[in-house]
Amino acid sequence: MKENILINGVKVIYEQKIGEITSFCIGFKAGASEEKEEGKYGIAHAVEHCIFKGTKNRTEKEINSLCDEIFGFNNAMTNFPYVVYYGTTLSKDFEAGFELYSDIIINPSFPEEGFEEEKNIICEELKEWKDDKEQFCEDELFKNAFGSVRIKECIIGKHTNIKKFTLDDIKEFYNKYYVPSNCVISVVSSLSEETIMEIIEKYMLAFKKSGKVDREYEYESNKSGLFYSKRDIEGARIQYIFPVHNLSNKEIKALRIFNNIFGEGTSSFIYDEIRTKYGLAYEIYSKIKNEGGIKLYSINMGTSKENIAKSIEIIDNTIDKAKELKGYFTNLKIKSLEKSIKLKRALQLERSIQLAMQLCVHYIMYGSSIDVYYDLDFDIDEKFIIRTISKVLTNPSIQVVEP
């Protein structure tokens, strides 16, 4: 992996991977977390949509036609800490694909024509977002658990906000955050680094806007407790969250080792208790979200309404038992869990487009891409793992969505 910085401030990460395709990602620290006013919640996502409406050189129809012609896969995504534009081409078509995306990002025209229709499309996307009961449960939980940080409201924002957005709002956000010093490009390809850099410089050195974006993310302690919401669904959803923004890198690694046996896979503690032993759920899992502005440990499951109380009781008991795992994390067990983590991560990054995205977003959030491969060389023992999970697994916010 190589990292370079162009003279205009654009960061470039190059990773060589043998094959016939090239994947790339262009990202900015311009996600929903940059929206400082509640009345503007959703503007980052709206900008992502409007970027594709046309450029100084191409119409929306021409852009769509070229995307179908050049890319095997392409998309864009707005998250809380970032927005990314990414795609995969045959390596011989990389320049054509990159030129198209650089034009979209550097030269958007933001036409008046079609703007109202695009806002309607975003509102339809919001409806689909809210129809997802797992996503709805998380959104309700964040709204109940936090009072001021941006994650208390979903990324897309509110219907009322979206309808009020003007093109001036779109342009203001774009001009502030879509600047070279805030841009990261990652490329995974069998093409040489020299060839990749020549192509990127050919098109991105025309990106000459000035500006600087604050690199800090905001965090907030959660409001612990049990929250209930009703929804027109057949089953129920339960989600726990525990903030982890105060953990060190070493503690995050310890939590990953613990999570590998607590909530990942069919032999995990909570899977064994909730599904195998009591048959209360089809799926239950835990995961770590360690991103800029959203650092949480969560437990997620679906069950029936009559099993809600029993499920919460079992999860709480399993957490209590986990804090007393003395003698479980032998050196041999820790090494085995580390190996499992490395394998899962390697499988996740096997696809070049996924690797390109992860290289890009890690640089945006942390100023380096090396974390993509998880440095597992910390000296961690059982005592440290148990101390870490005892620190994390306390005072959860718990959301229940029931019929």
Strands 294-303 and 284-291: antiparallel
Q: Does residue 357 lie in a domain region?
A: no
Position 129: which residue type? Answer: W
Q: Does residue 172 lie in a domain region?
A: yes
225 torsion bin: left (phi>0), alpha (psi -120 to 50), beta (else): left
Residue 105 near residue 26, CB atoms below 8 Å: yes
User: Considering only 98-107, 165-174, 371-380, which range has the smallest mean pLDDT?
Assistant: 371-380
Out of 204, 238, 254, pick the residue that ends a domain. Answer: 204
Judged against a pLDDT cut of 60, whether residue 112 lies above it is answered with yes
Instruction: Specify whether 198 is located in the same domain as 248.
Output: no
pLDDT band at 345 (very low <50, low <70, confident <90, very high): confident
Instruction: Specify whether 229 is located in the same domain as 302.
Output: yes
Q: Does residue 147 lie in a domain region?
A: yes
CATH of the domain at 87: 3.30.830.10
Residue 4 near residue 11, CB atoms below 8 Å: yes
Instruction: Specify whether 255 is located in the same domain as 173.
Output: no
Q: Does residue 197 lie in a domain region?
A: yes
The CA distance from 45 to 318, in Å, is: 39
Instruction: Specify whether 123 is located in the same domain as 231.
Output: no
* Nearest residue to 42 (alpha-carbon basis) of 164, 143, 142, 144: 164
Tokens representing residue 369 in the block: 């891409």
**Residue written as tokens 């650092």?**
295
Instruction: Specify whether 78 is located in the same domain as 164.
Output: yes
Residues 6+ apart with CB under 8 A from 339: none
Out of 169, 204, 239, pick the residue that ends a domain. Answer: 204
pLDDT of 388-398, one tens digit each?
999 999 999 99
Instruction: Specify whether 166 is located in the same domain as 65.
Output: yes
Q: Does residue 335 lie in a domain region?
A: no
As a whole-number percent, the residues of the chain with pLDDT over 90 amount to 88
Instruction: Specify whether 197 is located in the same domain as 289.
Output: no
Out of 139, 174, 204, pick the residue that ends a domain. Answer: 204
Task: Check residue 47 and give its pLDDT.
Answer: 98
What's the mean pLDDT in 337-347? 87
Q: How many CA atoms lie within 13 A of 308 on its CB side?
A: 18
Helix (H) or strand (E) holding 402: strand 397-402
Helix (H) or strand (E) holding 262: helix 249-262
Tokens representing residue 71 in the block: 């890319």
Q: Does residue 341 lie in a domain region?
A: no
The CA distance from 89 to 72, in Å, is: 6
CA distances from 128 to 70, 73, 77, 141, 240 (A): 29, 22, 16, 18, 23
pLDDT band at 373 (very low <50, low <70, confident <90, very high): confident
Give phi and psi for 214, each to the nearest 5: -60, 135
Helix (H) or strand (E) holding 167: helix 167-177
pLDDT of 211-240, one tens digit each?
989 888 999 999 999 999 999 888 999 999
Judged against a pLDDT cut of 60, whether residue 376 lies above it is answered with no
Position 74: which residue type? Answer: N
pLDDT of 185-207, one tens digit each?
999 999 999 999 999 999 999 99
Instruction: Specify whether 131 is located in the same domain as 272.
Output: no
Q: Does residue 151 lie in a domain region?
A: yes
Instruction: Specify whether 324 is located in the same domain as 254.
Output: yes
pLDDT band at 372 (very low <50, low <70, confident <90, very high): confident
Q: Does residue 84 lie in a domain region?
A: yes
Instruction: Specify whether 199 is located in the same domain as 232.
Output: no
Instruction: Specify whether 141 is located in the same domain as 8.
Output: yes
Judged against a pLDDT cut of 90, whether residue 377 lies above it is answered with no
- As a whole number, the mean pLDDT across the chain is 94
Strands 183-189 and 11-16: parallel
Tokens representing residue 345 in the block: 């991560």
Q: How many structural domains is the chain composed of?
A: 2
CA distances from 200 to 10, 32, 60, 90, 91 (A): 10, 27, 23, 16, 14
Helix (H, G, I), strand (E, B) or coil at 232: coil
What's the mean pLDDT in 335-351? 88
Instruction: Specify whether 258 is located in the same domain as 199.
Output: no
Strands 294-303 and 225-230: unpaired
Segments forming the whole domain that contains residue 187 = 2-204
The CA distance from 196 to 202, in Å, is: 10
Judged against a pLDDT cut of 80, whether residue 279 lies above it is answered with yes
